C-alpha cells in the first residue's frame, strides 16, 4: 500500500486534532519556559519558578474547562489518527493532576526553620525540579487520553523517567539509593510491559485496543499465549499504582524523596494508572473470555489491601507509613475496577478525588510538622497538637478520612466503592466478588491502628523539653500563613463532600463511562 496516497488527508486530520491538545501544549510550553529561565538566570528564586508553574496550571485548566463545555456528554473524539482520545473522563482526570501540581508547587516553596534549611539545599538544581514536575504531569495527561499501545508506553515512560530524577532531589545517600531502586524496579516493570505489548501486537496486528482486528486476533489466539501477553502488559500498569507484587519500590522512594515529591508520587502517577486501567481492562478481558481477569484483579486487590495495611502498622516514619497506606488505597481503587458498569466508575472517580485531597493534606501537614521539629518520625510530633491546635485538628480529620470514618469524605468514598461491588455481586452472584467485599471491609478496620498513631502523639503525649526539641525556633510568619491557608483549603473538601457528596457525583454523572 502506498502511504503517500493518504498522507495529505492524514496531515489534515493531525492538524485538526492539534486544536484539542492545548492543555498538553500549555504544559510543554511551561516546561520549556522554566528550562530557558533556569539557563538564563544566574540567581535562582524558587518563588519565580513556583509562579511559572502555577500560571501554567491555571492556563491549562482554562483550556480543560473550555473542552469540557464544548464536548457533549456522550462524545469521544479520536485524535491524531486514533493514537489519542478526548472525552470527559480524560478531562476530569487532567483537572485532578492540575490540582495536585498546584498544591505541590506551593508545598515546594523554600522555608527556613531556625538554622535548618527545609526544602532543597541546591539552588542550582531547582529549575530541573519544576521541569520534572511538569514532565510527570504531561505524561500522566497522555496516559489517561489513549487506547493505543505505543502512546501508552511512551506516556508511561515520560512519567517514569521524570520520576526517577525527582526521587533524588534530597541529594543525600538515602535519596540517591531510593532513586536507583526506582530506576531498577521501573526498568524491570517497563521491560515486562513492553514485551507483553509486543506479543499483543504480534497476535492482533494492531496497536489500537479499540480496533476490531485487535479483538478478533486476541480471541483467535491461543488462550495461554494471550493470557501471557495480557499478564505481562499489566505489569507496567500495576507498577504505576504500586499494587502487589509491584509495590516494593514505594516505601523507600517515599521515605528518601522530599516531602512534596512523595506527595506528588502518591497521587499523580497512581491516579493516571487507575484511569488507564479503567479504559484498558474491559477491552483486554472482553477479548479473551478464557482469561480469568476478574479473579486476577480481585486477588491482586485483596493482597494489595492486606500487604499495605499490615506493613503500615509497624512504621514510625510518617512518609514511609503513608507509602504503605497508598499501597492499600490502590487495592481499594482496584475493587472499583471489578465493577464493569457506570456505578463502578462513580465509585472510582469519587474515591480518586477524595484520595487526592486526603493525601495532599496529609503530606502538607507532615511538611509543616517537619518545619517545626526537623523530623518525619511520628514520635517527634508529641505535644504538637496542643501547641498548634489548627494543624493538630486538621491532621486528626485527615487521618479519620484516610481511615474511612465519618464525618469525612473518606467514609463516603469507601461506601460508594463497596456499594458498587455489592450491587455487582447481587447481579452476577459470583463468589469471588463476595470474598473481595469481605476482605475489603476487614481492611477498613486495620488502618485505625496506624492512622490514629499520629493524633495519639499529637494530643496524648507530652511535648519534649526545649533542649530535646530537634528545632527550637519556628518558621517565619509568611510560611505559617501559607501553611494555615493551604491546610484550610485542603480540609474543607473532606468535610463538604461527606455532607454534600451529590455535588461531586453530579459532575461525575456527566462523564460517560468507557466500559
- Are the CB atoms for 383 and 461 separated by under 8 Å? yes
In a domain, 5, yes or no: no
CA distance 146 to 143: 6
- Residue 435 in any domain: the answer is yes
* Residues in contact with 281: Cβ distance below 8 Å, sequence separation at least 6, in sequence order: 293, 297, 337
Q: Are residues 138 and 75 part of one domain?
A: yes
- Domain annotation covers residue 1: no
**Among the listed residues 162, 152, 153, 155, the one whose alpha carbon sits nearest the alpha carbon of residue 140:** 155
Q: So what's the pLDDT on residue 117?
A: 41
Return the pLDDT at 401. 92
Give the gyration radius of the chain's Cα atoms. 23
User: What is the rounded CA–CA span in Å between residue 230 and residue 351?
Assistant: 26
Q: Positive or negative CA dihedral for 444, 446, 449, 451? A: negative
- What integer pLDDT is reported at residue 305 of this predicted model? 93
Give the total number of structural domains in the chain: 2
In the 8-state DSSP scheme, what is residue 462?
Answer: P
The pLDDT, as a whole number, for residue 194 is 92
83, part of any domain: yes
List strand residue ranges (DSSP E) for 206-299, in order. none
Do residues 331 and 430 both lie within one domain? yes
Is 92 buried (19+), middle (13-18) or exposed (0-12) by CB count in 10 A?
buried
Q: Are 506 and 446 within one domain?
A: yes
H or E element that contains 84: strand 84-86
**Quick check: is 223 in a domain?**
no
Q: Which residues pair with 86 in a beta bridge?
A: 77
What's the confidence (pLDDT) of residue 5? 57
Spatial separation of the C-alpha atoms in residues 443 and 303, rounded to whole Å:
10
Q: Do 502 and 359 share a domain, yes or no?
A: yes
Rounded Cα distance, 59 and 24, in Å: 11
Report the residue count for the chain: 515
Strand partners, 111: 118
Which residue matches cell numbers 520549556? 32
* Same domain? 29 vs 125: yes
Same domain, 100 and 127: yes
Helices and strands in the chain, H and E counts: 22, 4
Which of 305, 180, 193 has the alpha carbon at shortest distance from 238?
193
The residue behind cell 471489578 is 338
Instruction: Look at residues 278, 308, 336 and tell me which one is the last residue of a structural domain.
Output: 278
Shared-domain flag, residues 185 and 329? no
Residue reference for cell 503525649: 461
pLDDT at 121: 47
Q: Which of 213, 245, 278 is a domain's end point?
A: 278
CB 384 within 8 A of CB 368: no
Contact 338, 344 (CB under 8 A): yes
Query: Does an H or E element contain 432, and which?
Result: helix 431-442
Residue 191 lies in a domain: yes
User: What is the C-alpha separation between 437 and 439, in angstroms, rounded?
Assistant: 6
Same domain, 415 and 270: no
Please tell me whether residues 65 and 157 are part of one structural domain: yes
* 415, 474: one domain: yes
Any residues with CB less than 8 A from the CB of 32 and at least 6 apart, and which? none
How many CA atoms lie less than 13 Å away from 512 in the CB half-sphere? 10
- The sign of the dihedral angle between the CA atoms of 106, 107, 110, 115 is positive
Note the pLDDT of residue 59. 94
Question: Model pTM greater than 0.85?
Answer: yes
Tell me if 88 sits within 8 A of 509, measured CB to CB: no
Q: Containing domain of residue 29, as a range?
A: 24-199+231-278
Q: Which helix (H) or strand (E) is 111 found in, with range?
A: strand 111-113
Q: Is residue 222 in some structural domain? A: no
C-alpha closest to that of 48 among 37, 62, 56: 37
Q: Answer whether residue 365 is part of any domain.
A: yes
Are residues 269 and 312 part of one domain? no
Task: Please check whether residue 479 is in contact with residue 118, taking contact to mean a CB–CB distance below 8 angstroms.
Answer: no
Residue 355 sits in the same domain as residue 406: yes
DSSP secondary structure of 327-367: HHHHHHHHHHHT--SHHHHHHHHHHHHHHHHHHHHHHHHHH
**End position of a domain, from candidates 278, 303, 336:** 278
Buried b or exposed e, range 16-35, using 16+ CB within 10 angstroms = ebeebbbbbebbeebbebbe
The crossing angle, in degrees rounded to 10, of helices 342-373 and 88-107 is 0
Contact assessment for residue 270 and residue 136, using Cβ atoms and an 8 Å cutoff: no
Q: Are 420 and 347 in contact, with CB atoms under 8 Å apart?
A: yes
Between helices 223-240 and 259-287, what is the axis angle to 10°?
160
pLDDT in tens, the chain (515 residues): 455 556 666 666 666 667 778 898 899 999 999 888 888 877 767 778 888 889 999 999 999 998 888 876 666 666 777 778 888 888 999 999 999 999 998 888 754 433 334 444 454 567 888 899 999 999 999 999 888 899 999 999 999 998 888 888 877 788 888 888 888 888 899 999 999 999 999 988 888 888 888 888 888 888 888 888 988 999 889 998 989 888 888 888 888 888 888 899 889 999 999 999 988 888 888 778 777 778 888 899 999 999 999 999 888 888 899 999 999 999 999 988 888 667 778 889 999 999 999 999 999 999 888 888 877 888 888 888 888 888 889 999 999 999 988 899 999 999 999 988 888 888 888 888 889 899 988 998 898 889 988 888 888 877 666 545 554 445 554 457 788 888 899 999 999 999 988 888 888 888 865 44
Amino acid at each position: 500500500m502506498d502511504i503517500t496516497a493518504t498522507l495529505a488527508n492524514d496531515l489534515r486530520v493531525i492538524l485538526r486534532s492539534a486544536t484539542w491538545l492545548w492543555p498538553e501544549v500549555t504544559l510543554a510550553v511551561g516546561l520549556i519556559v522554566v528550562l530557558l529561565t533556569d539557563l538564563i538566570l544566574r540567581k535562582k528564586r524558587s518563588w519565580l519558578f513556583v509562579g511559572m508553574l502555577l500560571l501554567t496550571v491555571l492556563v491549562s485548566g482554562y483550556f480543560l474547562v473550555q473542552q469540557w463545555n464544548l464536548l457533549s456528554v456522550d462524545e469521544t473524539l479520536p485524535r491524531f489518527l486514533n493514537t489519542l482520545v478526548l472525552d470527559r473522563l480524560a478531562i476530569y482526570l487532567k483537572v485532578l493532576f492540575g490540582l495536585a501540581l498546584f498544591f505541590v508547587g506551593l508545598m515546594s516553596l523554600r522555608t527556613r526553620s531556625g538554622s535548618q534549611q527545609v526544602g532543597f539545599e541546591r539552588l542550582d538544581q531547582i529549575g530541573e525540579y519544576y521541569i520534572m514536575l511538569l514532565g510527570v504531569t504531561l505524561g500522566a495527561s497522555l496516559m489517561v487520553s489513549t487506547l493505543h499501545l505505543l502512546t501508552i508506553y511512551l506516556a508511561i515512560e515520560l512519567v517514569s523517567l521524570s520520576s526517577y530524577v525527582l526521587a533524588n532531589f534530597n541529594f543525600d545517600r538515602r535519596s540517591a539509593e531510593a532513586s536507583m531502586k526506582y530506576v531498577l524496579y521501573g526498568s524491570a516493570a517497563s521491560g515486562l510491559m513492553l514485551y507483553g505489548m509486543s506479543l499483543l501486537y504480534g497476535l492482533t496486528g494492531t496497536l489500537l485496543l479499540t480496533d476490531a482486528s485487535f479483538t478478533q486476533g486476541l480471541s483467535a489466539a491461543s488462550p495461554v499465549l494471550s493470557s501471557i501477553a495480557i499478564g505481562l502488559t499489566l505489569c507496567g500498569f500495576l507498577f504505576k499504582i504500586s499494587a502487589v507484587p509491584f509495590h516494593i519500590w514505594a516505601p523507600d522512594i517515599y521515605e528518601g524523596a522530599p516531602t512534596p515529591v512523595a506527595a506528588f508520587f502518591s497521587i499523580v502517577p497512581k491516579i493516571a494508572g487507575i484511569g488507564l486501567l479503567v479504559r484498558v481492562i474491559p477491552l483486554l478481558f472482553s477479548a479473551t473470555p478464557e482469561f480469568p481477569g476478574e479473579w486476577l484483579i480481585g486477588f491482586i486487590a485483596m493482597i494489595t489491601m492486606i500487604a499495605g495495611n499490615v506493613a503500615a502498622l509497624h512504621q514510625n516514619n510518617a512518609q514511609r507509613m503513608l507509602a504503605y497506606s497508598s499501597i492499600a488505597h490502590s487495592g481499594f481503587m482496584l475493587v472499583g475496577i471489578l465493577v464493569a458498569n457506570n456505578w463502578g466508575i462513580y465509585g472510582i472517580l469519587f474515591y480518586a478525588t477524595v484520595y487526592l485531597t486526603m493525601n495532599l493534606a496529609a503530606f502538607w501537614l507532615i511538611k509543616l510538622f517537619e518545619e517545626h521539629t526537623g523530623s518525619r518520625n511520628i514520635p517527634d510530633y508529641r505535644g504538637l497538637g496542643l501547641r498548634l491546635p489548627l494543624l493538630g485538628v486538621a491532621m486528626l480529620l485527615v487521618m479519620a478520612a484516610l481511615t474511612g470514618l465519618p464525618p469525612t469524605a473518606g467514609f463516603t468514598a469507601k461506601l460508594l466503592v463497596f456499594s458498587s461491588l455489592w450491587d455487582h455481586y447481587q447481579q452476577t452472584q459470583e463468589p469471588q466478588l463476595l470474598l473481595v467485599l469481605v476482605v475489603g471491609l476487614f481492611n477498613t478496620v486495620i488502618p485505625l491502628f496506624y492512622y490514629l498513631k499520629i493524633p495519639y502523639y499529637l494530643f496524648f503525649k507530652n511535648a519534649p523539653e526545649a533542649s530535646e526539641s530537634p528545632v527550637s525556633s519556628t518558621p517565619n510568619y509568611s510560611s505559617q500563613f501559607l501553611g494555615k491557608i493551604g491546610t484550610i483549603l485542603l480540609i474543607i473538601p473532606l468535610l463538604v463532600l461527606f455532607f454534600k457528596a451529590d455535588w461531586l457525583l453530579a459532575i461525575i454523572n456527566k462523564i460517560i463511562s468507557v466500559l
